[in-house]
């Protein structure tokens, strides 16, 4: 299974936030650290905020923070949210597919089982399990 860049970038940002849960992270700081587009990261943080995973504040001292402790946010919850609408294979798409072997395919059940196992494993891990080490900031002399 290959995750979209939307999910990849979201996980990176959340892993950083989990390293310093009391700190508000600006989109600019996160984008610079991971060499990401601010615009793309803003979309990701908006989705995470709408789902109640992060909270955001505008203005000076604002930014994004985890909405609840990292050990209460499963990786499965995050990936399901950020991968919404991304079917593993064409025949899993909600709107149907153009697959020519749908009536006789025996692969679909195996792939559903593999996808379920993938998410079950992610459900057993939390954001706290994968938090990045806190950043070392330079102390002014």
Query: Is residue 139 in some structural domain?
Result: no
Query: Is residue 135 in some structural domain?
Result: no
Structural domains counted in the chain: 1
Q: Give the range of the structural domain holding residue 105, as residue numbers without chain letter.
A: 5-130
CA atoms within 13 A on the CB side of 23: 15
Return per-residue pLDDT of the chain as tens, 141 residues: 788 999 999 999 999 999 999 999 999 999 999 999 999 999 999 999 999 999 999 877 789 999 999 999 999 999 999 998 776 666 666 666 666 676 777 787 888 888 899 999 999 999 999 999 887 655 555
Query: Is residue 105 in some structural domain?
Result: yes
Query: Is residue 140 in some structural domain?
Result: no
Report the alpha-carbon distance of residue 65 to residue 52 in Å, rounded.
Answer: 11
Helices and strands, counts by H and E, the chain: 5, 2
Query: Is residue 16 in some structural domain?
Result: yes
Task: Enter the pTM of the model.
Answer: 0.84
What are residue 126's DSSP bridge partners? 74
Query: Is residue 42 in some structural domain?
Result: yes
Query: Is residue 36 in some structural domain?
Result: yes
The CATH number given to whatever domain includes residue 102 is: 1.10.10.10
């Amino acid at each position: 299974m290959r995750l979209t860049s939307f999910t990849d970038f979201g996980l990176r940002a959340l892993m950083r936030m989990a390293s310093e849960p009391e700190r508000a992270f600006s989109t600019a700081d996160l984008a610079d650290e991971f060499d990401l587009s601010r615009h793309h990261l803003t979309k990701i943080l908006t989705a995470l905020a709408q789902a109640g995973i992060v909270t955001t504040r505008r203005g000076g001292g604002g930014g994004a923070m985890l909405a609840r402790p990292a050990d209460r946010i499963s990786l499965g919850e995050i990936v399901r949210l950020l991968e919404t609408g991304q079917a593993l294979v064409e025949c899993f798409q909600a709107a149907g597919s153009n697959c020519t072997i749908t009536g006789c395919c025996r692969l679909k059940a195996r792939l559903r089982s593999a996808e379920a196992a993938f998410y079950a494993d992610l459900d057993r891990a939390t954001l706290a399990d994968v938090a990045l080490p806190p950043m070392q900031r330079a102390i002014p002399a």
